């Protein structure tokens, strides 16, 4: 069946609940997992261009460090569940694109993610990365709600 699952996480309680359920699924399927956290691109508008280089560098360093620590805790959970786990962090403006590309690059055969369940105007204004992954991915997607 499925041998390699991609588990996108965003730090939310819903995402972490989906991660926990996905670990159970992976354990039962004897699959390995890759956990991915997409870091947003650094954007700032200023007239003082000389400040941007240091600010961007600091943002990337701190964001990457925070994400790596977060991913270590999730990898430890996977290890405790006896599920082989790799971690990945990516800086990208469009998380759904980064998720789909990572699934392709890592050879994943299933993407497992949470849905925040936004509906109506809120879904239109905020959008849903899960919906975008479902719409654009050729790899199967399992959505936890």
Q: Could you report the per-residue pLDDT of 11-52, keeping only the tens digit for each?
A: 999 999 999 999 999 999 999 999 999 988 876 665 556 556
List Cα–Cα distances, 136 to 11, 89, 127, 130, in angstroms. Answer: 23, 21, 14, 10
CATH number of 4-144: 3.40.50.620
CA distance 85 to 35: 7
State the virtual CA torsion across 16, 83, 106, 109 in degrees, nearest 10: -90
CB 4 within 8 A of CB 102: no
* pTM of the full structure: 0.85
- CA–CA dist 132, 135 (Å, integer): 5
SS3 for 91?
strand
Distance CA 33, CA 1 (A): 14
What is the Cα–Cα distance from 77 to 86, expressed in whole angstroms? 12
CA-based nearest residue to 8, from 118, 81, 93, 96:
96
Q: How far apart are alpha carbons 44 and 112 in whole angstroms?
A: 32
**Can you list the residues of the chain whose pLDDT is less than 70?**
43-54, 117-127
Record the tokens describing residue 87, joined without a space.
Answer: 């971690």
User: What pLDDT does 62 receive?
Assistant: 82
State residue 55's pLDDT score. Answer: 74
What integer best gives the mean pLDDT of the chain?
Answer: 87
Residue 46 is predicted with a pLDDT of 56
What is the pLDDT at residue 40?
Answer: 86
Closest CA to 88 of 7, 142, 23: 7
């Amino acid at each position: 069946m499925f041998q390699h699952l991609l588990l996108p996480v965003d730090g939310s309680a819903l995402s972490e609940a989906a991660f926990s359920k996905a670990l159970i699924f992976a354990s039962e399927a004897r699959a390995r997992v890759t956990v991915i956290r997409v870091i947003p691109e650094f954007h700032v508008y200023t007239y003082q261009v000389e400040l941007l280089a240091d600010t961007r560098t600091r943002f990337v360093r701190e964001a990457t460090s925070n994400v790596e620590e977060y991913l270590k805790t999730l990898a430890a959970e996977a290890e405790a569940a006896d599920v082989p786990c790799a971690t990945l962090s990516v800086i990208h403006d469009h998380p759904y694109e980064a998720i789909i590309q990572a699934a392709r690059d890592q050879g994943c055969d299933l993407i497992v993610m949470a849905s925040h369940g936004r509906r109506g105007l809120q879904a239109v204004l905020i959008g849903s990365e899960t919906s975008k992954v479902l719409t654009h991915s050729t790899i199967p997607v399992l959505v936890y709600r």
